[in-house]
Amino acid sequence: MSGAGFHVHGPHDHELEHATTGGGHGDGGGKMTNQIALFTAIIATVGALFAYMGGATQANAGLFKNNAALKKTEASNQWNYFQAKSTKQSLAEVSRDLTPNVTDKEKYQAKIDRYEKEKNEIKLVAEKLEAEATEWDKKSDGQMHQHHRWAQATTVLQVAIALAAIALLTRKKWLEYAMFVGGAIGFAVGVLAAMHV
């Protein structure tokens, strides 16, 4: 550009002016660009939220599975304790049956009765722990299912973003439509994940 009113455009000036005024080559390119940019920003944000939820549910699934393992170990310890009491009870029964002394028989019978009572209490604790372990396993499975839904939703949204980039580069209207459909499907799968479906 000179000071005498003579104006010379650089090679890129026309394209910059054209882009800032929203002009296109007769195909609504500026409008398409704006739509794709807005769509990409929204879908990327939603996708980031879905990815976070997927990570959170995966972490919960691992935590719940760990809790199930702890409860199973506690239940196993109780069953071992139950078995030890059963062994003591069996020895007391043999001793009772082999002793000729009535007083000793009564002493062994008292032990047998005590062991039976203790075994029943231990059995209740062990069964309760097993039920808790099963419940933690179910919670873990539910979280893993939900994690898979979040991962599916995130993947579909990533594909929609890729389609957006290709649509922007090629200016193909059918790719823009495919991008919107992909985004809608990804969002729908995310809603299913939120609803635990």
Residue 54: C-alpha distances to residues 30, 48, 116, 190 (Å) = 35, 10, 49, 10
- Summarize pLDDT for 8-21 with one digit per residue, the tens: 555 544 444 554 55
* pLDDT more than 70, % of the chain: 85
43 neighbors 160 (Cβ within 8 angstroms): yes
Average pLDDT on 34-57 reads 92
Q: What DSSP assignment string belongs to 12-44?
A: THHHHHHHHTT--SSS-HHHHHHHHHHHHHHHH
Q: What range does the domain containing 141 cover? A: 30-194
The confidence band for 28, taking pLDDT boundaries of 50, 70 and 90, is low
Average pLDDT on 46-53 reads 93
pTM of the predicted structure, to 2 decimals: 0.70
Q: Give the separation between CA 53 and CA 93, rounded to whole angstroms.
A: 59
Whether residue 59 has pLDDT greater than 90: yes
24 lies in some domain: no
Average pLDDT on 56-60 reads 95
Whether residue 136 has pLDDT greater than 90: yes
pLDDT of residue 24: 47
What's the domain count of the chain? 1
132 lies in some domain: yes
As given in the structure block, the two tokens for residue 143 are: 């979280």
pLDDT of residue 31: 80
10 lies in some domain: no
Q: Give the separation between CA 115 and CA 90, rounded to whole angstroms.
A: 9
15 lies in some domain: no
pLDDT of residue 160: 93
12 lies in some domain: no
pLDDT of residue 5: 58
13 lies in some domain: no
23 lies in some domain: no
89 lies in some domain: yes
**41 compared with 25, residue with greater pLDDT:** 41
